[in-house]
Structure 1
């Protein structure tokens, strides 16, 4: 898979390209990404972008007005400067990339609260034995991500899994760990604190 990022200074464009790259890697695809110019948004867990021309057959990622194959809608943000980067990332991911988004302090604080709850649950699960990944939940999240990158739907599945007491804690842990390889929300951050 080849990606080309048209606006490497636009965080949402870069986040969308990063999510496409991560889903591609999960599907065991080799992903090559170039950008209009080099950019480093590592603070938001986005892989560094290197400058380069679009590779043959590249999927172009850019804002809606750039005529790209993956058009990312406009977004605004205010009051997130002191937020944990993972909470800001989650607040952005809660919006479909094709829909306009406004990320305010309430959205970031809500995302931070959800991260704290998910991390707390994972820390509890990690004190018990590991179990195999829950196949149905793993498939449902990957299906959502492969459906035009429906991250909000995948996050809803994650939230449902966290609260599903019918699934063994060790299985929930392993399933969430696998999903976080795509979401990059640092969900295991509290493991080892119990």
Structure 2
């Protein structure tokens, strides 16, 4: 079962599997383009969706309209955020035509028109002006370094982002991709089940992404695990992480 902290209830609660779930993301309400800090709430929603879908829960996702839809869609694609099926117009009640919202991811104060569970993600602080996601790419970093940097902190803890933390996250993403590409050339082997189960369990336990990443760090350095098994396990878990860890496979390394 996936367990998540319900801000309204003040406790971690189980989300029942085996049924459809309506997920709503209440995000940007400002008349400007999203900077990297604004995107955290959408990543949290994406992680919840991935964890539930792994449990075969049918997730119907919706989100608020934003000021610049084209720019937001580009940013969302760059961060590997799965697109919402529904984007109601600004100001439109999100629970019209009898469609109850089961889980809403948003700011600190629950919306009055949401009667289901409420998940709150803490904010992001950046030294100086927070960059746009395009600024991260212009600095020579993979946009998914932002995703990694957010995964490195629990969603209920505030994040202190700096260019140094983004560069470190970028290095971790690139190192894992290089490892996956190298392991892909080895003899195939069954997935390292114990590692996979530990990482999945961390995800299911209120999205403990830092713990899941530590499991992968441990697996990366475990010489007793065959390279082919590492390859299978990293790719399996990337369906939750969304870091495009297979993207270097087949590339010529120098």
Give yes or no for TM over 0.5. Answer: yes
Deviation per CA, 1:144-183: give whole Å up to 9, x if none. Answer: 0000010111011011111111111111100000111111
Aligned to 2:51: 23
Deviation per CA, 1:66-112: give whole Å up to 9, x if none. Answer: 46611111113445623311111101111111111121111111011
Bigger helix fraction: 1
Aligned to 1:3: 23
RMSD: 1.8
Give the secondary structure class of the aligned counterpart of 1:25.
helix
Give the secondary structure class of the aligned counterpart of 1:170.
helix
Distance 2:22 2:209 in 1: 21
> Could you state the TM-score of these two structures normalised by the residue count of structure 2?
0.71
Distance 2:156 2:108 in 1: 8
- Equivalenced residue count is 194
Give the secondary structure class of the aligned counterpart of 1:32.
strand
- Gaps spanning 5+ residues in structure 2: where? 1-20, 29-33, 89-93, 112-116
Q: Which moved more, 1:29-38 or 1:172-181?
A: 29-38
The question of 1:44 aligning with 2:79 is answered yes
Aligned to 2:170: 112
After the TM superposition, which parts of structure 1 deviate over 6 Å for at least 4 consecutive aligned residues? Answer: none
Give the secondary structure class of the aligned counterpart of 1:28.
coil
Q: Which moved more, 1:6-15 or 1:23-32?
A: 6-15
> Could you state the TM-score of these two structures normalised by the residue count of structure 1?
0.92
CA contact (8 A) 2:183 2:228 kept: yes
